[in-house]
Amino acid sequence: MNLLLPPTYSYLCPAMITYERHQLANGLTVVANRDRTSQLAAVNLLYKVGARNENPERTGFAHLFEHLMFRGTRRIPDFDRPVQMACGDNNAFTNNDYTDYYITLPAVNVETALWLESDRMTGLDISARKLALEKRVVVEEFRQRYLNQPYGDQTMLLRALAYREHPYRWATIGLAPEHIEEATLDDVRAFYRRWYRPSNAILSLSGDLPEERMFALAEKWFGGIENPADTPSAAPLPAEPEQREPRRMEVVRDVPATAISIAFHIGGRTSRSFFAGDLTSDLLAGGDSGRLYQTLVKERRLFASANAYVSGDVDPGLFVFTGHLLPTTAPEQAEAAIWDEIDRLKNDPVPARETEKVKNKFEANTLFGELNVMNKALNLGFYEMLGDLSLVDREVELYRSIGAEEIMEFARRVFRPENSSTLLYTAKR
């Protein structure tokens, strides 16, 4: 939220994203939004599988599979070419909770996107050669981004420290490159069969087409796809036990500056705790006017940079403070300074002017984001996956309802030493 807006934006009320929801007989959920302002259409297909659904001995599969989905099918060997011929573009991403594939193209060509997505839902061509190629690509990505890059494993170490039971303890890339290297063709085909099916997917569309037309096209291209008969239900995930004592870890790395991170457990994505935490993180780290920059970087000159964020996971996630220390700052001095800011939140009500500025920025970003058909399609799929589609139109209202007392209560409840996991990432001398 880096966009600064004058206080007059506080009266704005985001336009509702109108939508209709329908479910096909095979279980595919379809959410449609008619946007009469754009000549483009967005087709978003969300599969309810992410790193959380992986076997602890076979992590990184959801991300590996995202790569494989662009390797072509038996009927369409080159996925990108038809998209380009239809004047569109496409991409995908994987996180801990789900995998998302999206295409933007002229609305008159929307069936091209539906044809492509329905085809790779059932006809993905997974060969030993393609698997070997993508395994090399993903393993190289693992090494370059997480093992060889400065601070690359910082978040991985912090997750492993904060979580003991829940699969959020590993990152989307996986626990180790060996898990990808050892993946077999049978492993990958079983993963595809289990998770890539209509009843585990959400199709969301936005564009200048009547909702009834969108539903008819969804039926045309996806209605005949059957779910595998022997597909097991998703196993319940282990709940993370309540943390009852502080955790600490120190590592020494060849990095330019020492870094510190402190993580606290908070509620899941639809909980009141998440919204209070998200607002608090923006108060602390909302650009140069945020408290952490103003106090820890500018005034006290202890940090070169300081940040705070919430992980935004579906299940109970993390609130994280993190920063890079100046060479003259002792680690214990930096850690104490973070706790000083926490004590301010616990004991001093945040002025209304400060919270209003953050709420205005969130509201404005929401408004501007909803001008884009792809953002609408992504959001509709995401909130449907969360199980509360109405949140797509209610989040600004929820943020608006959080006041100074609730922020103080959140800080007192969450920012406790026994709920903390501290990672000291020390620069090698």
- Say which amino acid occupies 69: M
- Tokens in use for 337? 């300074």
Domain 18-222 has CATH 1.10.540.10: no
The Cα–Cα gap between 383 and 389 comes to 5
3-state class (DSSP) for residue 381: helix
Which pLDDT belongs to residue 14? 47
CATH fold for domain 247-350+403-427:
Cytochrome Bc1 Complex; Chain A, domain 1 (3.30.830)
Q: Is 223 left (phi over 0), alpha (psi -120 to 50) or beta?
A: alpha
Q: What end-to-end distance do the CA atoms of the chain give, in Å?
A: 36
Task: Identify the sign of the CA torsion 339, 340, 346, 351.
Answer: negative
Which pLDDT belongs to residue 58? 93
Q: Give the DSSP H/E element, type plus range, for residue 213.
A: helix 211-222
Domain locations in the chain?
Answer: 18-222, 247-350+403-427
**What's the half-sphere exposure (Cβ side, CA atoms, 13 Å) at 258?**
22
What is the signed CA dihedral for 367, 371, 372, 376, rounded to 10 degrees?
A: 60
Q: How far apart are CA 31 and CA 22, in angstroms?
A: 6
Length of the chain: 429
Check: pTM over 0.75? Answer yes or no.
Answer: yes
Strand partners, 259: 324, 425
CA distance 364 to 13: 9
Q: Where are the alpha helices (DSSP H) in 123-183?
A: 128-142, 154-162, 177-181
CA distance 361 to 7: 9
The residue among 316, 311, 394, 69 whose CA lies nearest residue 201 is: 69
What is the structure's pLDDT at 395? 94
Q: What pLDDT, on the 0 to 100 scale, is given for residue 388?
A: 96
Residue 47, burial from CB neighbour count under 10 angstroms (0-12, 13-18, 19+): buried
pLDDT for 231? 78
For each of the chain's 429 residues, which pLDDT tens digit applies? Answer: 333 333 333 333 445 899 999 999 999 999 999 999 999 999 999 999 999 999 999 999 999 999 999 999 999 999 999 999 999 999 999 999 999 999 999 999 999 999 999 999 999 999 999 999 999 999 999 999 999 999 999 999 999 999 999 999 999 999 999 999 999 999 999 999 999 999 999 999 999 999 999 999 999 999 999 999 887 777 889 999 999 999 999 999 999 999 999 999 999 999 999 999 999 999 999 988 999 999 999 999 999 999 999 999 999 999 999 999 999 999 999 999 999 999 999 999 999 999 999 999 999 999 888 889 999 999 999 999 999 999 999 999 999 999 999 999 999 999 999 999 999 999 998
Q: What would the 3-class secondary structure string for 300-329 be?
A: CCCEEEEEEEECCCCCCCEEEEEEEECCCC
To 10 degrees, what angle do helices 391-400 and 352-369 make? 160
Token representation of residue 269:
């994505």
Q: Could you write out the DSSP letters of every residue in 225-245?
A: PPPPTTPPPPPPPPPPPPP-S
Confidence (pLDDT) at 3: 33
Which DSSP symbol is given to 349? P
